[in-house]
């Protein structure tokens, strides 16, 4: 388990993490989300003792990470896949880590197979793609079979097969009872993988909830309904105070309602329905809604840029 209590980090005048508190529980994949510069990587570094907090504390299973005599056996982490010696082979990189931490040689071969490096383990790291470096970093994190794992953007650089693999790996690690904290900007992956979400912005906690509760509590409820009598249905729904949008010839979208409510109303009105469903909320939409005030740099559309750009005569 990871416990964050009042964690604060200042770099001069910059407040990177601001009185942050949350728990990462075992047996769950906890997604750690936030815009660029929100403080996610800094928080992870403080958990690992790489940065000293200005205030507060981060505990791993009730103790500071630095207090463990064999820390690699307690926590495995992937923060920067590029922070490896480029002249070594992948296998030698893992061998050095294993010998340094008193781990048997067989663990090197086991994690190489587990992450799918295969013959690439014999090649020098300088020739690795980003995806291969990610796999090597994950192998190093798993080397001592730790109970707590931290991954910072582990999906970057992976192809479709690799994304599916890391999704299954995270799920399996959590199902084994391990504590798993993973940050990512890929909202669709977090929606599929994470049991719980911790969202921060400008170093402060914005949300800490299960993925299901977070999606249910944000955004508008919407219903898609298709009928052979769209006009009478549209008119009667509006008469009942509902906001309805015409999507095509026979499909409507109803705001702030549920499929059950629309279905029961259509039944009372004796209007046949061919399709009726709640619109699933996306984590991307929820994330934008939550963090809109915490994004440091906002992009502008092409039209906006063109409208505000002066053209020299």
11-19: long-range pairs with CB below 8 Å, 24+: 15/202, 15/203, 16/42, 16/203, 17/42, 17/43, 17/46, 17/53, 17/203, 18/202, 18/203, 18/204, 19/55, 19/56, 19/204
Q: How confident is the model at residue 299 (pLDDT cuts 50, 70, 90)?
A: low
Burial of 78 (0-12, 13-18, 19+ CB in 10 A): buried
Contacts of 42 (CB under 8 A, 6+ apart): 9, 16, 17, 51, 203
pLDDT at 294: 60
List Cα–Cα distances, 226 to 140, 246, 248, 265, in angstroms: 52, 10, 9, 14
Res. 214: pLDDT tops 90: no
Q: What dotted CATH number matches 222-278?
A: 3.30.70
Q: What is the pLDDT of residues 123-159, one digit of tens each?
A: 999 999 999 999 999 999 999 999 999 999 999 888 8
Other CB atoms within 10 Å distance of the CB of residue 125: 20
Indicate the domain borders of the chain.
2-216, 222-278
Summarised one tens digit per residue, pLDDT across range 244-294 is: 999 999 999 998 888 999 999 999 999 999 999 987 677 777 777 777 766
Q: Is residue 111 over pLDDT 60?
A: yes
Pairing of strands 179-183, 196-201: unpaired
Give the pLDDT band of residue 218 (cuts 50, 70, 90): low
CA distance 85 to 212: 41
Does residue 310 surpass a pLDDT of 50? no
Kindly report the CATH number that applies to the domain delimited by 2-216: 3.40.50.300
User: What pLDDT was estimated at residue 15?
Assistant: 95
């Amino acid at each position: 388990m990871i416990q964050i209590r009042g964690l604060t980090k200042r770099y001069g005048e910059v407040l990177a993490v601001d009185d942050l508190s949350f728990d990462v529980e075992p047996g769950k994949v906890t997604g750690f989300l936030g815009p660029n510069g929100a403080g996610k990587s800094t928080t992870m570094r403080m958990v690992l003792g790489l940065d000293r907090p200005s205030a507060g504390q981060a505990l791993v299973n009730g103790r500071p990470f630095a207090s463990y005599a064999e820390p690699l056996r307690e926590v495995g982490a992937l923060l920067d896949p590029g922070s490896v010696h480029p002249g070594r082979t992948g296998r030698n990189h893992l061998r050095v880590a294993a010998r340094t931490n008193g781990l048997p040689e067989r663990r090197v071969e086991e994690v190489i197979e587990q992450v799918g490096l295969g013959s690439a383990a014999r090649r020098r790291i300088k020739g690795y793609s980003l995806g291969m470096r990610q796999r090597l970093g994950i192998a190093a994190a798993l080397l001592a079979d730790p109970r707590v794992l931290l991954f910072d953007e582990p999906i970057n650089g992976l192809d479709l097969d690799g994304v599916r693999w890391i999704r299954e790996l995270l799920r399996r690690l959590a199902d084994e009872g391990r504590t798993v904290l993973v940050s990512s900007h890929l909202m669709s992956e977090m929606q599929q993988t994470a049991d719980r979400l911790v969202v921060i912005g400008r170093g402060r906690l914005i949300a800490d909830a299960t993925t299901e509760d977070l999606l249910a509590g944000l955004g508008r409820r919407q219903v898609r309904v298709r009928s052979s009598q769209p006009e009478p249905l549209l008119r009667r729904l509006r008469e009942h105070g509902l906001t309805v949008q015409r999507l095509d010839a026979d499909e409507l979208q109803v705001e702030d309602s549920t499929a059950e409510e629309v279905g029961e109303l259509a039944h009372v009105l004796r209007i046949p329905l061919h399709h009726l469903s709640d619109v699933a909320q996306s984590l991307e939409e929820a994330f934008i809604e939550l963090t809109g005030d915490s994004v440091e740099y906002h992009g502008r559309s092409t039209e906006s840029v063109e409208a505000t750009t002066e053209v020299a005569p």
